[in-house]
Amino acid sequence: MTQFDRRLHPVRPDLAARAYEGKCSADRFVDGRRMAIAADIVPLRGEPSELAGIDTELLYGETFTVFDERGGWSWGQNDTDGYVGWLPTETLGAHFKPTHRVKMLRTYRYPEAELKRPPKGLISLGALVHVVRHAETRGLTYAELADGSYVVAEHLAPLEHRVEDWVATAEAMLGTPYLWGGRSTMGTDCSGLVQLSTQSGGYQLRRDADMQEATAGEALSLEDGLPALQRGDLLFWKGHVGLMSDPETLLHANGYTMTVAYEPLNVALERIAKNEFGALTAVRRLQAPAT
């Protein structure tokens, strides 16, 4: 019987997504219901409990397909990267088709087109929105969103927008607190930093470090030692990933400084080799994203 990674496949012994009918055994197969993340940031967990660890986070406006509901929790799959897990049902709202994404590190959602009003929330880089119309107050243009809230229009970019230098996005997150399972500019882990920053350049990377190591870009050979590195190369250890800011400087979200931080690569290699991650396992280089 095929073994399905629970992080990527909505398959359980008692229930599975309809698409898996004939591919696995389950007591029943169900059609999903598409919803949208209606809270600023939502932890996704492996079990329907506040005590369960955070696997990842979902951002405002992302589509979440629900396959099961139980005691105030919903089990389903994030459309952005395919991650499967549980989240509080109350954090979901009606599905909408995004038109823009947040391009700044973060931006406030206001109850009206007025920066003097107390904000309703704070959404992260990468959050998705549907712009209904625009309004101007004292020369500042706001975008009205599908839920009736407003954000500064300049903080948004069309979905197809790409930055030329996605590493600069990662560098803008310098000092962001380290958060296990974090995937926002309020707090991130190592693979969250890589996923969020590469997304600004038009890439769609998987969520966790092992997934990124298996699928991101092109592997560079380590047979003759460390290859000549360049800005944007991804370095992997068992359970950890960082990116090169320049050929000699690693940028990574890490539990050593508990921040997104620069570290000389030679220092990082020596230090990391002594801890749980061990020796470097792979270097991968991203190719230009598909147009």
Per-residue model confidence as pLDDT tens digits over 15-39: 999 999 999 999 999 999 999 999 9
pLDDT digits (tens, 9 = 90+) for 225-258: 999 999 999 999 999 999 999 999 999 999 999 9
Question: What does the pLDDT look like over 65-112, one tens digit per residue?
Answer: 999 999 999 999 999 999 999 999 999 999 999 999 999 999 999 999
pLDDT attached to residue 288: 85
Residue 1 pLDDT > 80: no
Task: Write the single-letter amino acid at 57.
Answer: E
Residue 188 has pLDDT above 70, yes or no: yes
For 249-269, the pLDDT digits (tens) are 999 999 999 999 999 999 999
pLDDT of residue 277: 87
pTM: 0.96
Average pLDDT over all residues of the chain = 97
